[in-house]
Amino acid sequence: MAEQRASDPARVLVEPLEQGVLDGVRELEGEPHRVRVDLGILPVFLDERPLLGLAGLVDWRACGRLSRILREGLFSGALGELLLTPGDRRLPVDRLVLVGLGPRAEFDGARLRQAAQAVVSTAVGLRADGVLIALPSEGIERRVAEDLFAALISAVEAALTPPDEGPQAERSPSAAPQAERSPDPASTASTSEQGEEGSEEGASEEPVAPDQDPELPELPELPPGGPPPEAPSGPAPADAAEEPEVPPEDPPEPSAREGADLEAGCAGWAPGRWWVVADEQVVARLRRVLSGPPRPARGGPGLHT
């Protein structure tokens, strides 16, 4: 599966809602050849019974498979609800996701933006190569359908936008206190030199036996080759290996790097091809939106044909 990075080209195509979509989508507008898609996303309203639009066509081609899912209570269409199910050879997609939109009468600007974000986040999270999205238009105003399409385009652009420097800049001040606590190499070298000079001066003086100097505490007698190596304190070495106080070198770094890579992958990766299936009445206007003045993502590619 080819991955889509922010530096690669991306494209959004608008397909009219027709029975031919069940055989696949066109690589280019007007091209007769149709291809299968990795992921299909079908938004469904809570009160959408029977299923309409592309969801109704898919249900018809799959012999009522989606209707059975609704009857068995596996999916209801509530806002934010998601259901992933595998496709089959009768459908134009390898994987199918149902996305709940909530009640149709409550589908306002805030909810359509939430739905658009859920659709794009699902496609990015599933690492889809190509995505087929059904744009709901039956039973809602044309303006609402167009606003949902605009929200989808904005969400795709945001998914393709490279990660900014914000998280790194926020993490950098936390490293400053650690740097302040770290010893200065110059001061360390100076301290070590002073310690060596002090030891040399002490060595030049005549040693005094402990029993002849009343100010010194009584010390244990040392063997003739110098002091023995300091014995480890605490439990046996086998138990010491399990001590939690002995952290690996630079303990927080691996998890921090993995988290940063994960965030960067979610923000700078997205499917390379998006097909939006809409009712014939709005297809022409949606295509004009795409063919109008380009609106490339910040630092990313344009989405227009």
* pTM, entire model: 0.61
Is 171 or 41 the better-scoring residue by pLDDT? 41
What is the b/e burial string over 17-42, where b = at least 16 CB atoms within 10 angstroms of the residue's CB?
Answer: beeebbebbbeeeeeeebebbbbbbb
Of 13 and 31, the one with more pLDDT: 13
- Predicted confidence (pLDDT) per residue in 278-293, tens digit: 999 889 889 888 876 5
Token couple for 267: 């923000």
Q: Residue 86: pLDDT band by 50, 70, 90 thresholds?
A: very high
| Percent of residues, the chain, with pLDDT higher than 70 | 56
pLDDT band at 30 (very low <50, low <70, confident <90, very high): confident
Q: Quick one: how far is CA 211 from the chain centroid?
A: 72
CATH homologous superfamily of 11-163+262-291 equals Leucine Aminopeptidase, subunit E, domain 1 (3.40.220.10)
Could you read off the pLDDT of 105-150 as tens digits, one per residue?
A: 999 999 999 999 999 999 999 999 999 999 998 888 889 999 999 9
CA distance 270 to 163: 13
- In sequence order, the β-bridge partners of residue 26 are 34
Residue 152 dihedral angles phi and psi, to the nearest 5°:
-65, -45
